[in-house]
Each structure stands twice: as structure tokens, then as C-alpha cells.
């Protein structure tokens, strides 16, 4: 089955510029990736626009993680291109960069949220959130102030000095969201961000994630198995055997 072309179906976004007027924040063209005899991506193309949330769904082995890693510059595709349009740094084809250059792009332009948060237990909450800024060379006092503001925006004011083990699961995941947002990324990638949470907490965390990304004009890409999580996004891309076989526009 062929996958839809990136421009095959309009999908208005409720926040940020509309698809008809905005340039894509991130574009992929003809991405292929194999691991030995296994085809992980078979020529995927897509556009991700500012102010929209896109869910990626599919069975295990469908290519979701490989697609996410290629889009985020964690790995390079065997062929094809991934072009980032960062208003602060211009357009750049990630597939043409070496590993060190891609790491620099990830630090300045992307944010990441994982199922288990991957927070550092020996650091306080605010130190965890400030870490991307510190790694990018921001002064510690300025980084801490920005981190505290990012936490406050997610309802975490007063918890800055707590250790990770002193926070609930929902609080920990909001700390992870704050860390992903603190450097003002162009695109936020979330890999099963609510997979370890109960349904009520999952709803709260997803609402916080959408409010801090899509509602601020950032692009959000969510890999999920949960139809409820996917249903909060603007579009859903369904992958099978390394191809986008179906695209749903929800808003």
C-alpha cells in the first residue's frame, strides 16, 4: 500500500499558523532505513507544522521508533532527507550532518520526553529541568531561573528542591515536560509519554503537554499505543511495515 504524500490531506491546526500559510517545522522525504535484512522504513515522507500535535501509531516493529529517531537526528537514514526549519538557526538537512553536529541540533532545537521520564534521581527537580540549558552553556543562575519558570508554568511551583523520588508519577512526568520545554525547542518528541501512568494521571499529563507545546506554537510528535492519547492530537499517522499507510486528520 502506498502512503499518502505530505500534502495529500489538509489538517487545520487549532493553535499557531494554519497549514496553508505556514512552512513546515520539520520535513521528511523518502526516508529509508534497514537493519540487516529487516526493512524499518520504506520511503516515508511527511511534513510537521508549527502549532500542531501529530501522533504516530503502529504495531511493534512497524517503524515508529526508527522514524522518531530519524526525525530527531538520533540516527541517519540510509537515504532520504530530514529538513528542520528553526527560526533562530535557519533551515538544515539533518541527514547531511555527522553525529556531533546532530547532537548539537538536538540540544538547541529539540525536546524529548520518555515513558519513564529518565530523570536523574541525584538532582533536584529544578536541576533536572535546567540540565539542557547548562549543557548548552547557559549561566547556572539564569538556567535555574528559567527552569523554575518552566516548572511553574506546569503547576510545579514549590517543588523545585524536591528529589525525583519525592514526587508522584504525574509530577515526575511534568518535570520531564518542563525539561523538554526549557530551551524553547522547535519540536518536542514524546515516546509513550503516558505509558507508565494511570488513566486519570495520563489525561492530566497529556493536557499539560499539549498546553506547553501545541498551544505555544511548537510542534509535538507523540509515539503512542493509546488511542485516547492519539485522539488529543491534530493528526494520527498509522505505520505498518515501515510505511505510513493511513493518515487521520482529527481537527
**80: region left, alpha or beta (phi > 0 left; psi from -120 to 50 alpha):** left
What is the Cα 235 distance to its own chain's centre? Answer: 14
Domain ranges, ordered by start, for the chain: 26-120+169-249
Q: What is the pTM of this model?
A: 0.87
Q: Would you state the pLDDT for residue 218?
A: 93
CB-CB contact of 174 with 156 (8 Å): yes
CB-CB contact of 187 with 48 (8 Å): yes
User: 26-120+169-249 — its CATH code?
Assistant: 3.40.50.300
Tens digit of each residue's pLDDT (9 = 90 or more) over 99-120: 999 999 999 999 999 877 689 9
Q: Would you state the pLDDT for residue 19?
A: 57
Mean per-residue pLDDT, 71-82? 95
Residue in the block written with cell 522514524: 67
Q: Would you state the pLDDT for residue 4?
A: 39
Question: What is the pLDDT of the chain when averaged over all its residues?
Answer: 89
Q: Based on C-alpha coordinates, what's the Rg of the chain?
A: 18
Mean per-residue pLDDT, 192-221? 88
CB-CB contact of 215 with 234 (8 Å): no
DSSP one-letter string for 10-38: ----SSSS-TTTSPPSEEEEEEEEEETTE
- Is the pLDDT at 132 greater than 50? The verdict is yes
Tens digit of each residue's pLDDT (9 = 90 or more) over 26-58: 999 999 999 999 999 999 999 999 999 999 999
How many residues are there in the chain? 251
Q: Would you state the pLDDT for residue 126?
A: 97
Amino acid at each position: 500500500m502506498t502512503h499518502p504524500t505530505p500534502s495529500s490531506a489538509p489538517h487545520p491546526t487549532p493553535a499557531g499558523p494554519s497549514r496553508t500559510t505556514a512552512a513546515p517545522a520539520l520535513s521528511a522525504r523518502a526516508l529509508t532505513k534497514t537493519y540487516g535484512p529487516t526493512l524499518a522504513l520504506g520511503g516515508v515522507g511527511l511534513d510537521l507544522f508549527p502549532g500542531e500535535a501529530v501522533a504516530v501509531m503502529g504495531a511493534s516493529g512497524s517503524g515508529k521508533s526508527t522514524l522518531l529517531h530519524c526525525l530527531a537526528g538520533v540516527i541517519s537514514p540510509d537515504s532520504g532527507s530530514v529538513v528542520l526549519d528553526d527560526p533562530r538557526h535557519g533551515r538544515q538537512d539533518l541527514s547531511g550532518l555527522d553525529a556531533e553536529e546532530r547532537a548539537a541540533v538536538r540540544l538547541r532545537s529539540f525536546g524529548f520526553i520518555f515513558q519513564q521520564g529518565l530523570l536523574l534521581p541525584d538532582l533536584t527537580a529544578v536541576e533536572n529541568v535546567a540540565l539542557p540549558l547548562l549543557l548548552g552553556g547557559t549561566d547556572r543562575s539564569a538556567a535555574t531561573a528559567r527552569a523554575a519558570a518552566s516548572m511553574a508554568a506546569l503547576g510545579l511551583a514549590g517543588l523545585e528542591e524536591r528529589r525525583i523520588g519525592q514526587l508522584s508519577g504525574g509530577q515526575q512526568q511534568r518535570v520531564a515536560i518542563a525539561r523538554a520545554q526549557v530551551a524553547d525547542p522547535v519540536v518536542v518528541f514524546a515516546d509513550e509519554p503516558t505509558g507508565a501512568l494511570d488513566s486519570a494521571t495520563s489525561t492530566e499529563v497529556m493536557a499539560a503537554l499539549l498546553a506547553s507545546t501545541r498551544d505555544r506554537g511548537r510542534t509535538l510528535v507523540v509515539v503512542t499505543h493509546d488511542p485516547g492519547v492519539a485522539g488529543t492530537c491534530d493528526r494520527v499517522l498509522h505505520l505498518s511495515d515501515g510505511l505510513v499507510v493511513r493518515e487521520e486528520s482529527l481537527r
